[in-house]
A = this chain, B = another copy of it.
Amino acid sequence: MRFKKELENIKTYEAGKPIELIMRDYGIDEKEIVKLASNENPFGASPKVTALIARLAGKIHRYPDDSYYALKTALAEKYKVERENIIIGSGSDQIFEFITHALLDRGDVVLQNKITFAMYAIYSAQSGAVTITTDSERHDLKAFEKLLAKNPKLIYLCTPCNPYGDALDKDDVFAFLDAVSAQTLVAIDAAYMEYASFKNTRKLIEPKELIERFPNAIYTGTFSKAYGLGGMRVGYAIARPDIIEALHKVRAPFNITTLSLAAAVEALGDQAFVRKSAEHNFKEMARYEAFAHEVGVNYEPSYTNFITLLFPEGRSAAEAASALLKRGMIVRDLKSYNLNAIRVTIGLTNENDRFFELFRDYWR
C-alpha cells in the first residue's frame, strides 16, 4: 500500500532521554541520575495537584468531560476571555497539530525562525506545506517582515523561544502583527511565558489584548513547564471563536486524560507555586551564568527554565553531553538543531551543583 509521499521527508522528533532509558542503557541507579534535559519543573507539580491525583486514582476508568468545562472556565477567568475562545490540547504541541490539519494544504507556505521548536517544521512537512525560515538564529522580527512577501499562510513566533531562550518584547510583536496580512494565521507559542513575564514584564503578551487587536492571532500556552505537569500533557490555545471552532473540527474527542483535566484545573489555582518556581529558576539561572563565565562557555540570556551553553570551536557539545550522560547527568545535545551547544534545564539547587561539578570535571 502507498502511504503519502510527504512521509518520506519526515524525520521524527528526538525527545529528551527519559531516566528509564539511561538506567537501562548505562546500568546507572535511578537515585544517581539527574535529568536536566526536558525543561521539566524541578519542584514537580504543586503539592495540591499531586494530592488530587492520588485522591482521583479510583476514577481513571471514567472518560473525561469532553467539553472540558471546568478547565475552560478556569482559563477563561484567568485570562479574562470566554470559553468560546479556548481549545484544549494534549500539550500545546497538539494545538500546532490542529492548526496544521485545519489550515495547511500541500504547497502552502509556513514561516518560522531559523532555529526554533522542532515540531513546527515536522507538522508542516506532514501536510506537504513548505517551511521557509529566517536567516537569523535568534528571533528577529525584521527578518520575518522581509519574508512576508512569500505570502505565508501560517507564521510561528516562539516567545520565549526554545532552544535559545530569547524572548520578544510585546510591543515589537504587536508592531510586527500590524504588518501581517489578516489572511495569515500567526501562532504565538508562549510555552515559557510564565518565566519570561516574571523576568521582564515587557515580554508579557496578554492573550485577551492580542486577540482583540489581531483577529488572525492565536496564543498557545502549556501546563508542562511552570505548572510542572509535563507528564500530564495539557496545553491550550486562545483565539477568536471562528478559529477555535475550526480547530475543534480536527480535535479527536477525549484528547486529554481524566486526571490531566483535574490536574490542570487544580494547578491553575495554585499561582503561588508558579511564582515560587519562577523565582527559584532565575536565582539558579544567575549561578549558571556565573559558571559559564568561569569555565569560558558562551550562553544566550534566557527567559525560560533552561540555559543553552554555546561551545567554543574545537570543543564538541555532543561529546560533552555524552560524557555527562555516562555519569548520570542528562542534558540536551542540540546537534539536531545544528548547534554546537547543550541545553540545560535549571534544576534544584543540588542538581545544579552536581551539573557544575560534573561539567568542571569533564571540561578541564
Q: What is A's interface to B at a CB cutoff of 8 Å? A: 1-4, 7, 10, 12-13, 15-16, 18-21, 24, 35, 38, 40-41, 43-45, 49-51, 53-54, 57-67, 69-70, 90-91, 93-94, 97, 101-103, 105, 119, 123, 126, 153, 182-185, 216, 224, 228-233, 243, 246, 248-250, 252-260, 263
Contact = CB atoms under 8 A, between A and B. Distances in A.
B228 A257 contact: no
A65 B229 contact: no
Instruction: Kindly list the 10 A-B residue pairs having the minimum CB-CB distance in the complex, ordered from nearest.
Output: A231-B258, A18-B65, A53-B57, A15-B66, A61-B228, A54-B54, A3-B246, A50-B57, A44-B61, A54-B57
B12 A248 contact: yes
A60 B38 contact: no
Given A19-B62, A59-B231, A231-B64, A103 B249 contact: no
Contact of A15 (B91, B243, B253): B253
Nearest to A16: B63
Total copies of the chain: 2
B90 A61 contact: no
A176 B64 CA distance: 37
A105 B44 CA distance: 42
B59 A3 contact: no
A317 to B, nearest CB: 22
Q: Give chain A's interface secondary structure class.
A: loop
Contacts of A62: 18-19, 35, 38, 40, 230-231
A310 B243 CA distance: 40
Contact of A1 (B216, B253, B259): B216
Contacts of A185: 1
Nearest to A216: B1
Contacts of A3: 102-103, 246
B1 A252 contact: no
A21 B61 contact: no
